[in-house]
Chains A and B, each alone.
Chain A
């Protein structure tokens, strides 16, 4: 009896170990953000919170000079990240739902050609075309602008495919009924298709918001001024070469703030998040 009980505990032990491996770095960062830079820099960070929390977050938020350097205020970087993430998420959803609607509900010349054109973008992630894309954005005068941060990333084959897939499941009878009632394509889109797509939009929004918030290479290239800095690239610039003499308290507070929005979105919208993830990869 006793042996079986021990064996039953093994899965729990492994799962708890897994949870701890994921939680520990976050815990250390949270604790670190409540101590002063000296304590962290000496490597003597305790396992309990210190008393500097409020001061550190206030300092990071307002961007007051640390002990060693000046930083872009976190509130500016958070705002930039938020604008970028929202523009990417909403922009992708808007242009994909429109093009999917065109491809699914109309018959017109070159329909499949357009479909394949959109499909190809799947094979051209921003990383493989960084320099020429940068050049296009520079020629358009969009360096250091929200438009330059967001627009090159908003074309999305996945979202278009997902919406098209969903539109094909809308029964023909619904469309016929709408036509008999005299509804045109615009009316049908607003009154029938949009409400039916609500869940899909929510699920996609969660995934795309996180995708947008976590962009790294692109913001690194197209932003050069401090006031356009996004928070994820901002952190690594604060760290520099990772010497022990750094404003670690500010860096850790900034890291916590950078994680907050996407983690909150995942935790509070878990149901949609899992649906969005599994669906968009089909």
Chain B
């Protein structure tokens, strides 16, 4: 795509592009290339000599049962966060979109959690569910339930899932609401006249017409669960207890920063890159489709 009329200038466009291109090359392309280079090399303990090892780092990572456990945790975590955040957001958006008193107030009161950092959301949840100081945490214990997410892996996973979804609902809510408002009222009215009840209208009209939004949010929420929830997990459980809440991204950090295993961590980074590229490709296919509809 290009405009018909343009400016003629030999040097200026390059000058305008220079800052962005410089930052991209130095902090994006070069490190990414390094990650790929390191992922096929093995370094000695002093980082002086390195040897080309083909895909040894990858086979090492992928055959490590710990890594496969981490992969399993990541899948459970991401699917749970996506389903929870989208389900709750859709319910709230459908209700706030109906002709209801105070719809505007509800809207404002539901979108602000977007502003919270994932780590801050985790801290807020800790204030409530901490078994020592949190009101709910203590209530659970008082009821005789052995609640301590710092010791129980299942509870820890449930806790990070809840905190991560809680933060993401508002984002989904905003997009579902925008999607709902784009559905022509006349279609809904025609269906009502034909005698379709609210549930039927939702299933046969609203939900199918909302499918581009739903699909878009599916990808965004997966990316969120994969990457941005690092803060949630780091603040709440540090990946523990054991490795019960260790996701792929947390493990890259753990292996690369804490354990200083460059080859293994780079191989993991490359695996993550492939996942992001796949998700982005899927998302762009969808964007093409949306343009087609419009």
Contacts and interface: CB of A to CB of B under 8 A. Distances in A.
A122 B284 CA distance: 11
A248 B133 contact: yes
Interface stretch (B58-66, B67-75, B120-128, B185-193): B120-128
Given A129-B28, A130-B252, A216-B234, A14 B112 contact: no
Contacts of B102: 12
Contact of B3 (A15, A129, A172, A188): A172
Interface string A145-175: 0000001101100001000000010001001
Contacts of B1: 168
A210 B118 CA distance: 12
A41 B175 contact: no
A132 interface: yes
A181 interface: no
A70 interface: no
B139 to A, nearest CB: 10
A69 interface: no
A263 interface: yes
B27 A152 contact: yes
Interface in B45-97: 88, 91-92, 95-96
Contacts of B124: 25-26, 28-29, 255
B127 A220 contact: no
Interface string B112-151: 1111111110011111101011110010000000000010
Contacts of A168: 1, 3
B202 interface: no
A17 B185 CA distance: 27
Contact of B16 (A101, A117, A251): A101
A94 B23 CA distance: 13
Interface centre among A18, A41, A213 (most CB of B within 10 A): A18
Given A102-B13, A233-B119, A281-B220, A135 B276 contact: no
B231 A216 contact: yes
A101 B13 CA distance: 8
B231 A24 contact: no
B207 interface: no
Interface in A202-225: 210, 213-217, 220-221
B20 A160 contact: yes
A154 B23 contact: yes
A263 B118 CA distance: 13
Interface residues of B, number: 97
A52 interface: no
A229 B91 CA distance: 39
Tell me what chain A mostly uses at the interface: helix, strand, loop, or mixed: helix
A213 B88 CA distance: 26
Contacts of A105: 3, 6-7
Given A12-B101, A117-B21, A132-B269, 5 more contacts: A25-B127, A40-B133, A125-B276, A128-B252, A129-B28
Interface of B: 1-10, 12-14, 16-17, 19-21, 23-32, 34-35, 38, 88, 91-92, 95-96, 98, 100-102, 106, 108-120, 123-128, 130, 132-135, 138, 150, 166, 169-171, 174-175, 178, 216, 220, 223, 227, 230-231, 234-235, 249, 252-253, 256-257, 262, 265-266, 269, 272-273, 276-277, 280, 287
The 7 closest A-B CB pairs, nearest first, are: A214-B117, A132-B31, A244-B132, A216-B231, A132-B34, A102-B16, A262-B115
Interface of A: 11-12, 14-15, 18-19, 21-26, 28-29, 32, 40-43, 45, 94-96, 98-99, 101-108, 111, 114, 117-118, 120-125, 127-137, 151-152, 154-155, 160, 168, 172, 175-176, 179, 184-186, 188, 210, 213-217, 220-221, 232-233, 235-236, 239, 241-244, 248, 251-252, 255, 258-259, 262-263, 265-267, 270, 273-274, 277-278, 281-282
